[in-house]
Protein backbone atom coordinates (compact mmCIF):
# COMPACT_ATOMS: atom_id res chain seq x y z
CA UNK A 1 0.00 0.00 0.00
CA UNK A 2 1.26 3.49 -0.81
CA UNK A 3 2.21 5.82 2.02
CA UNK A 4 -0.43 8.21 3.24
CA UNK A 5 -3.42 8.24 5.50
CA UNK A 6 -7.02 7.35 4.72
CA UNK A 7 -9.99 9.44 5.76
CA UNK A 8 -12.94 7.07 6.08
CA UNK A 9 -16.56 8.19 6.39
CA UNK A 10 -19.39 5.81 7.25
CA UNK A 11 -22.51 6.74 9.19
CA UNK A 12 -22.51 3.19 10.56
CA UNK A 13 -19.45 1.52 12.03
CA UNK A 14 -19.43 -1.42 14.47
CA UNK A 15 -20.87 -1.92 16.95
CA UNK A 16 -23.49 0.30 15.26
CA UNK A 17 -25.12 -1.07 12.11
CA UNK A 18 -25.56 -4.36 10.30
CA UNK A 19 -23.75 -6.15 7.52
CA UNK A 20 -22.92 -2.96 5.64
CA UNK A 21 -20.88 -1.65 8.55
CA UNK A 22 -19.29 -4.88 9.79
CA UNK A 23 -18.34 -5.95 6.27
CA UNK A 24 -16.69 -2.61 5.59
CA UNK A 25 -14.83 -2.75 8.91
CA UNK A 26 -13.47 -6.17 7.99
CA UNK A 27 -12.42 -4.81 4.60
CA UNK A 28 -10.47 -1.98 6.26
CA UNK A 29 -8.88 -4.37 8.75
CA UNK A 30 -7.59 -6.51 5.89
CA UNK A 31 -5.82 -3.64 4.09
CA UNK A 32 -2.08 -4.01 4.74
CA UNK A 33 -0.54 -0.96 6.38
CA UNK A 34 -3.76 1.05 6.37
CA UNK A 35 -4.06 3.90 8.87
CA UNK A 36 -6.00 7.09 9.27
CA UNK A 37 -9.24 8.49 10.66
CA UNK A 38 -12.81 7.18 10.65
CA UNK A 39 -15.77 9.53 11.01
CA UNK A 40 -18.96 7.74 12.06
CA UNK A 41 -22.16 8.31 14.05
CA UNK A 42 -22.28 9.08 17.75
CA UNK A 43 -24.17 6.38 19.60
CA UNK A 44 -25.31 5.86 23.16
CA UNK A 45 -22.71 4.12 25.29
CA UNK A 46 -19.82 4.76 22.88
CA UNK A 47 -17.09 7.40 23.30
CA UNK A 48 -16.86 10.36 20.95
CA UNK A 49 -13.22 9.45 20.28
CA UNK A 50 -11.53 6.04 20.26
CA UNK A 51 -8.23 4.66 19.04
CA UNK A 52 -8.76 1.39 17.19
CA UNK A 53 -5.50 -0.07 15.96
CA UNK A 54 -4.02 2.27 13.34
CA UNK A 55 -7.30 4.18 12.97
CA UNK A 56 -8.74 6.95 15.11
CA UNK A 57 -12.53 6.82 15.36
CA UNK A 58 -14.44 10.11 15.63
CA UNK A 59 -18.16 9.81 16.43
CA UNK A 60 -20.34 12.78 15.56
CA UNK A 61 -24.01 13.75 15.12
CA UNK A 62 -27.03 13.15 17.32
CA UNK A 63 -26.62 11.03 20.43
CA UNK A 64 -29.21 8.44 19.44
CA UNK A 65 -28.90 6.36 16.26
CA UNK A 66 -32.27 5.46 14.76
CA UNK A 67 -32.40 2.69 12.16
CA UNK A 68 -35.25 3.32 9.73
CA UNK A 69 -35.49 -0.39 8.95
CA UNK A 70 -36.77 -1.01 12.46
CA UNK A 71 -38.09 2.42 13.44
CA UNK A 72 -41.63 3.57 12.84
CA UNK A 73 -40.42 7.08 12.04
CA UNK A 74 -38.55 7.57 8.78
CA UNK A 75 -38.55 11.33 9.41
CA UNK A 76 -36.58 10.75 12.61
CA UNK A 77 -34.13 8.59 10.71
CA UNK A 78 -33.50 11.21 8.05
CA UNK A 79 -33.04 13.79 10.80
CA UNK A 80 -30.21 11.61 12.12
CA UNK A 81 -28.76 11.37 8.60
CA UNK A 82 -28.91 15.15 8.14
CA UNK A 83 -27.29 15.76 11.53
CA UNK A 84 -24.53 13.28 10.71
CA UNK A 85 -23.88 14.88 7.31
CA UNK A 86 -23.35 18.33 8.80
CA UNK A 87 -21.33 17.10 11.78
CA UNK A 88 -19.17 14.79 9.63
CA UNK A 89 -18.46 17.61 7.20
CA UNK A 90 -17.34 19.82 10.08
CA UNK A 91 -15.15 17.13 11.63
CA UNK A 92 -13.71 16.20 8.25
CA UNK A 93 -12.88 19.84 7.54
CA UNK A 94 -10.91 20.07 10.79
CA UNK A 95 -9.13 16.77 10.18
CA UNK A 96 -8.14 17.77 6.63
CA UNK A 97 -6.61 20.97 7.98
CA UNK A 98 -4.51 18.95 10.44
CA UNK A 99 -3.52 15.92 8.35
CA UNK A 100 -2.71 14.95 4.79
CA UNK A 101 -4.76 12.13 3.29
CA UNK A 102 -4.10 10.08 0.19
CA UNK A 103 -7.76 9.17 -0.25
CA UNK A 104 -11.21 9.85 1.22
CA UNK A 105 -13.32 6.66 1.33
CA UNK A 106 -17.08 6.76 1.84
CA UNK A 107 -19.00 3.64 2.81
CA UNK A 108 -22.53 4.29 1.46
CA UNK A 109 -23.31 6.96 -1.12
CA UNK A 110 -25.63 8.67 1.34
CA UNK A 111 -24.84 10.29 3.61
CA UNK A 112 -21.10 9.52 3.59
CA UNK A 113 -20.64 9.95 -0.17
CA UNK A 114 -21.91 13.52 -0.05
CA UNK A 115 -19.47 14.36 2.75
CA UNK A 116 -16.54 12.83 0.86
CA UNK A 117 -17.55 14.69 -2.31
CA UNK A 118 -17.52 18.06 -0.55
CA UNK A 119 -14.26 17.40 1.30
CA UNK A 120 -12.67 16.20 -1.92
CA UNK A 121 -13.63 19.43 -3.66
CA UNK A 122 -12.53 21.64 -0.77
CA UNK A 123 -9.12 20.01 -0.28
CA UNK A 124 -8.42 18.63 -3.78
CA UNK A 125 -8.49 15.02 -2.52
CA UNK A 126 -9.23 11.83 -4.42
CA UNK A 127 -12.46 10.19 -3.29
CA UNK A 128 -13.94 6.68 -3.42
CA UNK A 129 -17.47 5.49 -2.66
CA UNK A 130 -18.39 1.93 -1.74
CA UNK A 131 -21.93 1.15 -2.89
CA UNK A 132 -24.29 -1.21 -1.09
CA UNK A 133 -27.97 -1.97 -1.66
CA UNK A 134 -29.30 0.78 0.65
CA UNK A 135 -27.67 3.33 -1.67
CA UNK A 136 -29.77 2.22 -4.64
CA UNK A 137 -32.94 0.65 -3.23
CA UNK A 138 -34.91 2.50 -0.56
CA UNK A 139 -35.06 0.41 2.65
CA UNK A 140 -38.34 2.18 3.38
CA UNK A 141 -39.82 0.19 0.48
CA UNK A 142 -38.29 -3.08 1.74
CA UNK A 143 -35.66 -2.58 -0.98
CA UNK A 144 -38.29 -2.88 -3.72
CA UNK A 145 -37.98 0.59 -5.24
CA UNK A 146 -35.15 3.05 -5.98
CA UNK A 147 -34.98 6.43 -4.30
CA UNK A 148 -37.06 9.31 -5.63
CA UNK A 149 -36.79 13.09 -5.54
CA UNK A 150 -34.01 14.79 -3.52
CA UNK A 151 -32.56 11.50 -2.27
CA UNK A 152 -32.11 10.29 -5.82
CA UNK A 153 -30.31 13.52 -6.68
CA UNK A 154 -28.08 13.12 -3.61
CA UNK A 155 -27.07 9.58 -4.59
CA UNK A 156 -26.45 10.67 -8.16
CA UNK A 157 -24.19 13.51 -7.03
CA UNK A 158 -22.20 11.21 -4.74
CA UNK A 159 -21.69 8.53 -7.40
CA UNK A 160 -20.96 10.79 -10.34
CA UNK A 161 -18.63 12.97 -8.31
CA UNK A 162 -16.40 10.18 -6.95
CA UNK A 163 -13.04 9.33 -8.47
CA UNK A 164 -13.41 5.62 -7.69
CA UNK A 165 -16.52 3.49 -7.26
CA UNK A 166 -16.78 -0.02 -5.84
CA UNK A 167 -19.87 -2.16 -5.35
CA UNK A 168 -20.26 -5.21 -3.13
CA UNK A 169 -21.82 -7.33 -5.92
CA UNK A 170 -22.37 -7.33 -9.65
CA UNK A 171 -26.09 -6.95 -8.98
CA UNK A 172 -25.54 -3.71 -7.07
CA UNK A 173 -23.25 -2.49 -9.85
CA UNK A 174 -25.99 -3.23 -12.38
CA UNK A 175 -28.60 -1.37 -10.34
CA UNK A 176 -26.29 1.64 -9.93
CA UNK A 177 -25.75 1.80 -13.67
CA UNK A 178 -29.43 1.30 -14.38
CA UNK A 179 -30.60 4.12 -12.13
CA UNK A 180 -27.63 6.50 -12.11
CA UNK A 181 -25.77 6.15 -15.38
CA UNK A 182 -24.78 3.27 -17.64
CA UNK A 183 -21.32 4.78 -18.11
CA UNK A 184 -20.34 4.62 -14.42
CA UNK A 185 -17.06 2.76 -13.95
CA UNK A 186 -17.60 0.47 -10.96
CA UNK A 187 -15.36 -2.32 -9.70
CA UNK A 188 -17.06 -5.21 -7.93
CA UNK A 189 -15.31 -5.97 -4.64
CA UNK A 190 -17.28 -8.09 -2.14
CA UNK A 191 -16.92 -7.65 1.57
CA UNK A 192 -14.72 -10.32 3.15
CA UNK A 193 -16.01 -13.17 5.28
CA UNK A 194 -14.29 -14.22 8.48
CA UNK A 195 -14.16 -17.99 8.27
CA UNK A 196 -12.82 -19.57 11.46
CA UNK A 197 -11.89 -23.14 12.10
CA UNK A 198 -15.08 -24.99 13.00
CA UNK A 199 -15.61 -27.20 16.03
CA UNK A 200 -18.37 -29.46 14.69
CA UNK A 201 -21.29 -30.65 16.80
CA UNK A 202 -23.07 -33.96 16.54
CA UNK A 203 -26.80 -33.89 15.83
CA UNK A 204 -27.51 -34.84 19.43
CA UNK A 205 -25.20 -32.14 20.79
CA UNK A 206 -27.00 -29.55 18.65
CA UNK A 207 -30.37 -30.77 19.89
CA UNK A 208 -31.51 -32.27 16.57
CA UNK A 209 -32.92 -35.72 15.93
CA UNK A 210 -30.88 -38.07 13.78
CA UNK A 211 -33.69 -38.26 11.21
CA UNK A 212 -34.45 -34.54 11.18
CA UNK A 213 -33.72 -32.52 8.06
CA UNK A 214 -32.55 -29.20 9.47
CA UNK A 215 -32.60 -25.92 7.55
CA UNK A 216 -30.63 -22.99 8.96
CA UNK A 217 -30.93 -19.21 8.69
CA UNK A 218 -28.62 -16.56 10.15
CA UNK A 219 -29.20 -12.82 10.14
CA UNK A 220 -31.41 -10.00 11.34
CA UNK A 221 -35.09 -10.83 11.66
CA UNK A 222 -36.56 -8.08 9.48
CA UNK A 223 -39.29 -8.28 6.84
CA UNK A 224 -37.08 -8.18 3.77
CA UNK A 225 -35.35 -11.39 4.89
CA UNK A 226 -38.49 -13.28 3.84
CA UNK A 227 -38.79 -15.47 6.91
CA UNK A 228 -42.60 -15.40 6.91
CA UNK A 229 -42.39 -16.99 3.45
CA UNK A 230 -40.00 -19.58 4.88
CA UNK A 231 -42.29 -20.39 7.81
CA UNK A 232 -45.28 -20.88 5.49
CA UNK A 233 -43.15 -23.20 3.39
CA UNK A 234 -42.07 -25.14 6.46
CA UNK A 235 -45.72 -25.81 7.32
CA UNK A 236 -46.19 -27.57 3.97
CA UNK A 237 -43.22 -29.90 4.50
CA UNK A 238 -43.04 -33.08 6.54
CA UNK A 239 -42.76 -33.01 10.36
CA UNK A 240 -39.10 -34.07 10.19
CA UNK A 241 -38.11 -30.77 8.51
CA UNK A 242 -37.08 -28.05 10.98
CA UNK A 243 -35.83 -24.49 10.65
CA UNK A 244 -33.16 -23.12 12.99
CA UNK A 245 -32.99 -19.31 13.13
CA UNK A 246 -29.78 -17.75 14.45
CA UNK A 247 -30.23 -14.02 15.05
CA UNK A 248 -32.81 -11.63 16.43
CA UNK A 249 -34.90 -8.69 15.39
CA UNK A 250 -38.38 -7.13 15.30
CA UNK A 251 -39.90 -9.99 13.28
CA UNK A 252 -39.31 -12.63 15.95
CA UNK A 253 -42.70 -12.07 17.59
CA UNK A 254 -44.72 -12.14 14.35
CA UNK A 255 -42.83 -15.23 13.17
CA UNK A 256 -43.53 -17.03 16.44
CA UNK A 257 -47.21 -16.11 16.15
CA UNK A 258 -47.34 -17.33 12.55
CA UNK A 259 -45.71 -20.64 13.50
CA UNK A 260 -48.24 -21.11 16.32
CA UNK A 261 -51.11 -20.33 13.93
CA UNK A 262 -49.80 -22.94 11.48
CA UNK A 263 -49.23 -25.50 14.23
CA UNK A 264 -45.46 -25.80 13.71
CA UNK A 265 -44.02 -23.98 16.74
CA UNK A 266 -41.98 -27.05 17.68
CA UNK A 267 -40.29 -27.08 14.27
CA UNK A 268 -39.20 -23.44 14.35
CA UNK A 269 -36.15 -23.10 16.62
CA UNK A 270 -34.96 -19.63 17.65
CA UNK A 271 -31.34 -19.56 18.84
CA UNK A 272 -30.97 -15.78 19.18
CA UNK A 273 -27.63 -14.11 18.59
CA UNK A 274 -24.70 -16.49 19.02
CA UNK A 275 -20.96 -15.97 19.18
CA UNK A 276 -19.05 -16.83 16.02
CA UNK A 277 -17.69 -20.14 17.30
CA UNK A 278 -21.08 -21.37 18.51
CA UNK A 279 -22.81 -20.18 15.34
CA UNK A 280 -20.50 -22.16 13.08
CA UNK A 281 -20.77 -25.21 15.31
CA UNK A 282 -24.57 -25.15 15.02
CA UNK A 283 -24.33 -24.69 11.25
CA UNK A 284 -22.08 -27.75 11.00
CA UNK A 285 -24.90 -29.89 12.42
CA UNK A 286 -27.50 -28.65 9.91
CA UNK A 287 -28.35 -30.02 6.46
CA UNK A 288 -28.92 -26.93 4.33
CA UNK A 289 -28.95 -23.15 4.54
CA UNK A 290 -31.96 -21.05 3.60
CA UNK A 291 -31.94 -17.53 2.12
CA UNK A 292 -35.62 -16.65 1.49
CA UNK A 293 -34.95 -12.92 1.13
CA UNK A 294 -36.84 -10.35 -0.87
CA UNK A 295 -33.45 -8.82 -1.66
CA UNK A 296 -29.80 -9.27 -0.69
CA UNK A 297 -26.96 -6.92 -1.53
CA UNK A 298 -24.45 -9.77 -1.23
CA UNK A 299 -25.30 -12.23 1.62
CA UNK A 300 -22.11 -13.17 3.45
CA UNK A 301 -24.28 -15.38 5.66
CA UNK A 302 -24.48 -17.75 2.71
CA UNK A 303 -20.68 -17.72 2.40
CA UNK A 304 -20.40 -18.62 6.08
CA UNK A 305 -22.84 -21.50 5.59
CA UNK A 306 -20.82 -22.73 2.61
CA UNK A 307 -17.71 -22.67 4.79
CA UNK A 308 -19.58 -25.08 7.06
CA UNK A 309 -20.28 -27.27 4.02
CA UNK A 310 -23.99 -26.49 3.70
CA UNK A 311 -25.84 -26.39 0.39
CA UNK A 312 -27.70 -23.09 -0.04
CA UNK A 313 -31.33 -22.76 -1.09
CA UNK A 314 -31.92 -19.14 -2.03
CA UNK A 315 -34.13 -16.74 -3.89
CA UNK A 316 -32.57 -15.17 -6.99
CA UNK A 317 -32.95 -11.67 -5.62
CA UNK A 318 -29.75 -9.66 -5.48
CA UNK A 319 -26.03 -10.18 -5.16
CA UNK A 320 -26.27 -13.74 -3.93
CA UNK A 321 -26.19 -14.70 -7.61
CA UNK A 322 -22.45 -13.89 -7.39
CA UNK A 323 -22.13 -16.61 -4.76
CA UNK A 324 -24.48 -19.44 -5.68
CA UNK A 325 -24.45 -21.44 -8.90
CA UNK A 326 -27.45 -23.69 -9.56
CA UNK A 327 -26.67 -27.33 -8.82
CA UNK A 328 -23.03 -26.58 -8.00
CA UNK A 329 -23.17 -25.04 -4.54
CA UNK A 330 -26.87 -24.49 -4.09
CA UNK A 331 -30.34 -24.27 -5.60
CA UNK A 332 -32.44 -21.26 -6.62
CA UNK A 333 -36.11 -20.63 -6.00
CA UNK A 334 -38.52 -17.72 -6.44
CA UNK A 335 -39.54 -15.40 -3.63
CA UNK A 336 -43.02 -16.16 -2.35
CA UNK A 337 -43.44 -19.45 -4.27
CA UNK A 338 -44.02 -21.93 -1.45
CA UNK A 339 -44.26 -24.98 -3.70
CA UNK A 340 -41.08 -24.08 -5.61
CA UNK A 341 -39.13 -23.65 -2.36
CA UNK A 342 -40.46 -26.92 -0.98
CA UNK A 343 -39.50 -28.75 -4.19
CA UNK A 344 -35.89 -27.57 -3.67
CA UNK A 345 -35.94 -28.67 -0.03
CA UNK A 346 -37.29 -32.09 -0.99
CA UNK A 347 -34.68 -32.43 -3.72
CA UNK A 348 -31.82 -31.89 -1.28
CA UNK A 349 -33.47 -34.01 1.39
CA UNK A 350 -33.93 -36.98 -0.93
CA UNK A 351 -30.71 -36.75 -2.95
CA UNK A 352 -27.85 -37.59 -0.58
CA UNK A 353 -25.39 -37.65 -3.47
CA UNK A 354 -26.21 -34.06 -4.47
CA UNK A 355 -25.87 -32.90 -0.88
CA UNK A 356 -22.50 -34.64 -0.58
CA UNK A 357 -21.15 -33.09 -3.81
CA UNK A 358 -22.22 -29.60 -2.82
CA UNK A 359 -20.94 -29.99 0.73
CA UNK A 360 -17.54 -31.07 -0.55
CA UNK A 361 -17.25 -28.13 -2.98
CA UNK A 362 -18.60 -25.29 -0.86
CA UNK A 363 -15.69 -24.64 1.57
CA UNK A 364 -13.35 -23.96 -1.38
CA UNK A 365 -15.88 -21.54 -2.90
CA UNK A 366 -16.24 -19.76 0.43
CA UNK A 367 -12.45 -19.36 0.70
CA UNK A 368 -12.61 -16.90 -2.20
CA UNK A 369 -14.10 -14.41 0.26
CA UNK A 370 -11.25 -14.56 2.76
CA UNK A 371 -10.02 -11.09 3.81
CA UNK A 372 -6.60 -11.38 2.16
CA UNK A 373 -8.26 -12.04 -1.20
CA UNK A 374 -10.88 -9.31 -1.11
CA UNK A 375 -8.30 -6.83 0.25
CA UNK A 376 -6.07 -7.34 -2.78
CA UNK A 377 -9.02 -6.63 -5.07
CA UNK A 378 -9.99 -3.55 -3.05
CA UNK A 379 -6.48 -2.08 -3.17
CA UNK A 380 -6.37 -2.56 -6.92
CA UNK A 381 -9.80 -0.95 -7.35
CA UNK A 382 -8.76 2.06 -5.24
CA UNK A 383 -5.46 2.43 -7.08
CA UNK A 384 -3.45 2.03 -3.87
Dihedrals φ, ψ of 144, to 5°?
-95, -30
- Those residues whose C-beta lies under 8 Å from the C-beta of residue 351, and which sit 6 or more positions away, are none
Quick check: 256 and 268 in contact, CB under 8 A? yes
Please state, in angstroms and rounded to a whole number, the distance separating the CA atoms of residues 250 and 227.
Answer: 12
Quick check: 231 and 264 in contact, CB under 8 A? yes
pLDDT, position 63: 54
pTM value is 0.86
* Mean pLDDT for the stretch of residues 147-151: 84
* 46 pLDDT higher than 80: yes
* Mean pLDDT for the stretch of residues 72-88: 72
pLDDT digits (tens, 9 = 90+) for 171-218: 999 999 999 987 889 999 999 998 999 999 999 999 999 899 999 999
* Mean pLDDT for the stretch of residues 284-298: 93
- pLDDT category, 69, cuts 50, 70, 90? very low
What percentage of the chain has pLDDT greater than the value 90? 74
Angle of helix 170-180 relative to helix 149-161, nearest 10 degrees, comes to: 110
Other Cβ atoms within 10 Å of 100 Cβ, number: 10
pLDDT, position 145: 75
What percentage of the chain has pLDDT greater than the value 70? 93
- pLDDT category, 384, cuts 50, 70, 90? confident
Quick check: 236 and 338 in contact, CB under 8 A? yes
Task: Please choose, from the candidates 51, 131, 38, the residue with its C-alpha nearest in 3D space to the C-alpha of residue 91.
Answer: 38
Quick check: 79 and 62 in contact, CB under 8 A? yes
* Mean pLDDT for the stretch of residues 268-288: 95
pLDDT digits (tens, 9 = 90+) for 223-250: 989 999 999 999 999 899 999 999 999 9
Length of the chain: 384
Domain residue spans of the chain: 5-188, 203-368
The fold adopted by the segment(s) 203-368 is: Rossmann fold (3.40.50)
Largest CA distance in the chain: 65
CATH of 5-188, one of 3.30.70.20, 3.50.50.60, 3.90.1580.10, 3.40.50.2000: 3.40.50.2000
Quick check: 289 and 312 in contact, CB under 8 A? yes
Amino acid sequence: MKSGRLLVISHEFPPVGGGGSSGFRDQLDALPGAEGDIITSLAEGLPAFEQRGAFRIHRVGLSKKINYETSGSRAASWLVFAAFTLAALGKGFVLCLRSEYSLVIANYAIPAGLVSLLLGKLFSLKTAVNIIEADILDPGSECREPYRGPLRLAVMAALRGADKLTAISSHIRGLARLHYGASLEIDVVPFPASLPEISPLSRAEAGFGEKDFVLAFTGRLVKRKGLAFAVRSLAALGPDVKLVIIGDGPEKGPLSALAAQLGISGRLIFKGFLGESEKFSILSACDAFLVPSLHEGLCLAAVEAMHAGLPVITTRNGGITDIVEEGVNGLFTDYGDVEALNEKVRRLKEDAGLRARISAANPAKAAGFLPRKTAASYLEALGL
